[in-house]
Chain A
Amino acid sequence: MKISYKWLKKFVDVDYTPDELSEKLTLLGLEVASITYVGYKLNDVFAAKVLDVKKIKGSDHLNVCKVRIVDKVYQIVCGASNIAENQLVALAVEGADLPCGLKIKKTVIKGVESCGMICSKKELGLEGDSTGIWVLGNFFKEGAKLSSIDGIEDIIIEIELTPNRPDCLSMLGVAREVAVLTGNKLKYPQLDKLDIPIKVNDNIPIKILDSDLCENYSAYIIRGITVAPSPFWLANAVEKLGMRSINNIVDITNYVLMEMGHPLHAFDLAKIQGPEIVVRRAKKNESIKTLDDKVRELDDTVLLIADKSSALAVAGVMGGADSEVTESTTDILLEGAYFNPVNIRNTSKKLGLSSEASYRFERGTDRVGFQDALTRAAYMTAKICGASSISNLFQDEPAKYTDNIVTGNLRKIRSYLGIKIFDDEILEIFKNLDFVLKKRINDDIELQIPSYRVDISIEEDLIEEVARIYGYDKIPMANPGSDFIDPQKNKRLIYSQFTRDVLTGAGLYETITCSLVPSETAESVNCVFADKNYPALRIANPISEMQEVLQVSLLPNILDVIKLNTKSRQETIRLFEIGNIFIPLKEKNVREKNALCLAVSGNREKFFWLDSSSSWDFYSFKGFVTDYLELLGFANLSFCRSKHSLFHPGRSADIFIGKNKIGAIGQVHPSKTAEIGVNELTFAGEFDADYLSENMKINGSYCPLPKYPAIERDLAVVVDSDLLFQEINDAVNLKKPELMESYRVVSVYEGDPIAQGKKSLNLRMTYRDREKTLNDQEVDKIHDDFSQYIVLKINAELR
């Protein structure tokens, strides 16, 4: 919201400079976003009369004009299309240094001398954008220096108000805060003195049918007015605060809106059927054409201001076009009301229509004080629009307003804030805020809150007011509470920090990507951890196709990152990400899972001048993965072929621990790498980080070093070529002899002299007794028995 520094000074004495004031307001909770100086540097700009306009020969738009400032006539070349004789215009004379940066001096244009410039509002810094020159109304006197005219020079302070402070959405509201700040007295705007008859009985019936949505509706009738452009001071005042000047009637309601914060509306009385006012819910299929010339379909949640036959306005949001005040209007009904904030907000949302009025009504207006604003506007209208008569304020029987009483406790206020403040100081703060002390028993107090402070309803609100006025900056810093609270271990945090350390140490970079993905991305990949694939969960109100559904896997995004970095010619790409995936379940349910994704592409190591770096292959990636898992304490991994669509079907594996599928790894499918234009030797994997963090063991117990030597024995078997090693491993683990410490694959061989369709595997077993030295005979016996078992189990031949 914008406020005018000069206008503010009419309501309260301010000694602070605009900068100081802004700082103070910010510390008071009214955050100042910007300070703008307008209308300055206009010392050499005068109101001047256009005497004569003639086209310059050879130019289609330039005119040579004779322009007069009292007794001096200037020749000016002007290109504006809206210039005409007898206009009063703003003339910048030689030497003027305008806000737009122009310095005015004598020039010759198309051979014609020009001794100044006729200015637009934009050039004078009074408006953001202008069409043509500024034609001054009759409110200016020829020869007047613009800078000397009241209201031209001003400082506009823009405040970003929080939604709890609608009471500050006006000049008066901010002035109230400044009054508390400075201790200076607030000067309320005074009613204009009228010398026209007040017709006590001039009124029309008002019926509030839905008093739950409208507590009070009040009005004035003002007759014999002339609708015309506003006087300069009025138009200038509303324009400075960011509104358009329409005519005197509209400008007055806007002026009072800005001044006192209450939305008001004027109807052309002649267009009200009855005449009577009915405040009611809209009927089914009822519609109204609003002031913006759009037809709005309504329903029975929308509150209307209607006459005998039809809707006049959407209550609290916007007036209707049919009852609009026009140039031919002579009598008006000026209304003011208090509407239910929730209802106005819903209507505004439903119609997709918000206005200065709805903005205030939905935040909560002054249910008592609005009548003062209405009277102020009615008297201004009568005065400025030359009314012949004015009514008294009239209204339907209003709903009873009960005072807002809030109780508090002085001791609690102190202890809550942790400050040393005397009772009297607290009470003084409340007094300055016009919170009336109704009752006090020891530390318990009862305060009557002014009707404009809609944000004060509980003791904590009172505490905030004390803190605010006392000064947040003066509140001391205390040590954090010292109560011992059992620290809670967070396994997920421990896991992710450990993983980050390990993987970055191994040369991988961490990525963070967007968990919202295009739907094609989600459709193109199935979730590693789901048995059944349901469609990915969609955003109901996406802002873009690029963020439409919740990711079911981290893999697509990390491949995008590889793509990006391949494009920027990175030769070594090694990445990981820890993030949540959203596994779709039936009936649009979703299971959130923390996942880890690894991906490598390009060279295994950085470029080296001596030789070309080696590429990744499946086994080097798998080895890396199993090393990582082993570090987390996972040893008994089993693998099977993966069916994941993103992977090369022959070079990918699902990883299990027992029955839990904890991940899948593989070479990225060649058609995918080709599609995104990255190295074909790209490998990736995704892991169940929830499982890993829950079951990791990074602090195992110590096992004494062996004292006795180990003995090794080899076992060479010939098996079908398509037999997976996993079967052998399972067989080994099933009946592993007690004294067999470990075993490893020494070689795998296919080809001569091994028969076609067969392969030879050479395993090397390590035997050790931790209690004594084993002898050959013992080991031979164990090894031979075990070999027999393996050969039978996997249907192999000994070699």
Chain B
Amino acid sequence: MRDKINSIQIQAENDLSDCSTIEDIENLRVKFLGKKGQITLLYQNIKDVAPEDRPQMGQFINDLKQKITSAIVNVKDRIEKNILQKRLEQEAIDVTLPGRSSGFGKIHPLAKTMRSVIKIFQSIGFSVAQGPEVETEYYNFDALNIPSYHPARDMQDTFFLENGKLLRTHTSPVQIRVMENRTPPVRIIAPGRVYRNEAINARSYCLFHQVEGFYVDSSVTFSELKGVLGYFAKELFGEDSKIRIRPSFFPFTEPSLECDVSCFLCSGKGCRVCKKTGWLEILGAGMIHPAVLRSVGYDSSQVQGYAFGMGIERITMLLYGINDIRLFFENDLRFLSQF
């Protein structure tokens, strides 16, 4: 019996070392531990052993069973690991090939500039208002101190509509509409689309986007206006930006100014874009003309304020070095994807 046990043990060890698949292991398990397996047979044969030797013999068989069982687990484990290893090797791919991209979109460069401009003014307490693009002559001109005979109407060519209205030539009508409905203090910016009846070429388009801003209160000063413009320029064009303001003329402001920012392309040294002047014209502004304040029923002896307006296309073209305004409205994805 003892010999038998030993030989089974040797056989099991040999068989185990020959196992290379899960199947082999299973066959081995059946061969030794199955219902008709050799270990099971040993248990059945124990009755042939002398009764006093039976416990010891039983112990031997138990030990052997235990050994084979744990050896099976170990070998199975090893084989599974090998199989996994092989699978992982087989599953290896070229991780350096390009991935499957669905791609993000982008907001339009004009919307991007618009958003930056709005954010800057919101950060210093301006709220946003909007108004219609189809306007009346009253809001677009008369209320803004531009009477019908005024030469200033030559400065902006207007699209008139067949119903007697017009397409606003600037966002300033929003200024009137807001002031009509609110009492000072008011601090507003009005972004929007405006139209000019101009031939389309690289420099001009029949529409563009403006941001108008104004602040009316009891003691708003010209130097505050300069401060706001200086802050705006630094925020949008960078810390080192300086502004230069110079007298200009708009019928709806008095005094009026034109604001230049130091050329950020050449740091003010003079280049092609700033026409060697070191300055880039970016916006017009001024103290709101008392006639405009009166037209909305404000008492111009009690309140005063400033207003400014800028063209988003121009600023965007300067910021990115775009040389043809038509690109904005063609919407070629090869263009749009660059912003």
Tell me, rounded to whole Å, the shortest Cβ–Cβ distance linking A418 to chain B: 3
- Of residues 67 through 119 on chain B, the ones whose CB sits less than 8 Å from some CB of chain A are 97-98, 100-108, 110-111, 115, 118
A461-501 CB mask vs B (1 if < 8 Å, else 0) is: 10110011000110111111101110110101100010010
B-side contacts of A26, CB under 8 Å: 246
B138-181 CB mask vs A (1 if < 8 Å, else 0) is: 00000000000111101100111111010100000000000000
Chain B residue at minimum C-beta to C-beta distance from A344: B149
A-side contacts of B102, CB under 8 Å: 507, 604-606
A-side contacts of B10, CB under 8 Å: none
Rounded to whole angstroms, the CA-CA distance of A517 and B290 in the bound complex is 39
The segment from B13-21, B29-37, B254-262 found at the interface with A is B254-262
Rounded to whole angstroms, the CA-CA distance of A416 and B301 in the bound complex is 11
B242-272 CB mask vs A (1 if < 8 Å, else 0) is: 0011111100001111100000000000000
For the complex with contacts A478-B226, A485-B185, 17 further pairs of A-B residues with Cβ separation under 8 Å are: A163-B150, A163-B155, A460-B287, A463-B255, A467-B222, A477-B226, A480-B215, A481-B185, A509-B337, A512-B110, A514-B329, A543-B197, A588-B162, A588-B163, A590-B163, A606-B103, A608-B101
A574 at the interface (CB under 8 A from B): yes
26 contacts between A and B (CB under 8 A): A345-B151, A346-B149, A363-B151, A416-B304, A419-B223, A460-B255, A460-B287, A472-B245, A480-B215, A485-B187, A488-B188, A492-B130, A493-B118, A504-B106, A505-B104, A512-B110, A514-B329, A516-B159, A516-B206, A539-B167, A540-B159, A540-B160, A541-B158, A541-B159, A568-B332, A590-B163
B interface with A by C-beta (< 8 Å):
97-98, 100-108, 110-111, 115, 118, 122, 124-125, 127-130, 132-134, 149-152, 154-155, 158-163, 165, 167, 185-188, 193, 195, 197-200, 205-207, 215, 217, 219-224, 226-228, 230-231, 244-249, 254-258, 287, 289-290, 304, 328-334, 336-337
| Contact among B128, B193, B224 for A515, CB-based, below 8 A | B193
The segment from A27-35, A68-76, A222-230 found at the interface with B is A27-35
| Contact among A467, A475, A605 for B100, CB-based, below 8 A | A605
Q: Is the CB of A464 within 8 A of B221?
A: no
Rounded to whole angstroms, the CA-CA distance of A574 and B328 in the bound complex is 17
A402 at the interface (CB under 8 A from B): no
A interface with B by C-beta (< 8 Å):
26-29, 31, 162-165, 341-342, 345-346, 362-363, 415-419, 458, 460-461, 463-464, 467-468, 472-473, 475-481, 483-485, 487-488, 490, 492-493, 497, 500, 503-516, 537-544, 547, 550, 561, 564-565, 568, 570, 572-576, 579-580, 582, 587-590, 592, 604-606, 608-610
Chain A residue at minimum C-beta to C-beta distance from B249: A162
| Contact among B130, B185, B329, B330 for A483, CB-based, below 8 A | B185
Rounded to whole angstroms, the CA-CA distance of A345 and B153 in the bound complex is 11
Rounded to whole angstroms, the CA-CA distance of A32 and B154 in the bound complex is 20
| Contact among A464, A497, A579, A605 for B255, CB-based, below 8 A | A464
A-side contacts of B231, CB under 8 Å: 480
Rounded to whole angstroms, the CA-CA distance of A473 and B101 in the bound complex is 53
Rounded to whole angstroms, the CA-CA distance of A588 and B163 in the bound complex is 6
Q: Is the CB of B200 within 8 A of A544?
A: yes
| Contact among A468, A479, A504 for B105, CB-based, below 8 A | A504
Q: Is the CB of A416 within 8 A of B103?
A: no
Q: Is the CB of A418 within 8 A of B222?
A: yes
| Contact among A463, A510, A550 for B336, CB-based, below 8 A | A510
Q: Contacts A490-B130, A590-B163 given; indicate if A163 touches B152 (C-beta within 8 A).
A: yes
Rounded to whole angstroms, the CA-CA distance of A587 and B122 in the bound complex is 40
Q: Contacts A478-B227, A490-B130, A516-B207 given; indicate if A570 touches B333 (C-beta within 8 A).
A: yes
Q: Is the CB of A592 within 8 A of B133?
A: yes
Give the 4 A-B CB pairs with smallest separation, nearest first.
A29-B247, A418-B221, A418-B223, A162-B249
| Contact among A29, A541, A592, A609 for B134, CB-based, below 8 A | A592
Q: Is the CB of B227 within 8 A of A480?
A: yes
Q: Contacts A485-B185, A493-B128, A516-B195 given; indicate if A564 touches B107 (C-beta within 8 A).
A: no
| Contact among B125, B134, B245, B331 for A487, CB-based, below 8 A | B125
Tell me, rounded to whole Å, the shortest Cβ–Cβ distance linking B126 to chain A: 9
Q: Is the CB of B207 within 8 A of A538?
A: no
B-side contacts of A541, CB under 8 Å: 158-160, 197
Q: Is the CB of A506 within 8 A of B105?
A: yes
Q: Is the CB of B105 within 8 A of A510?
A: yes
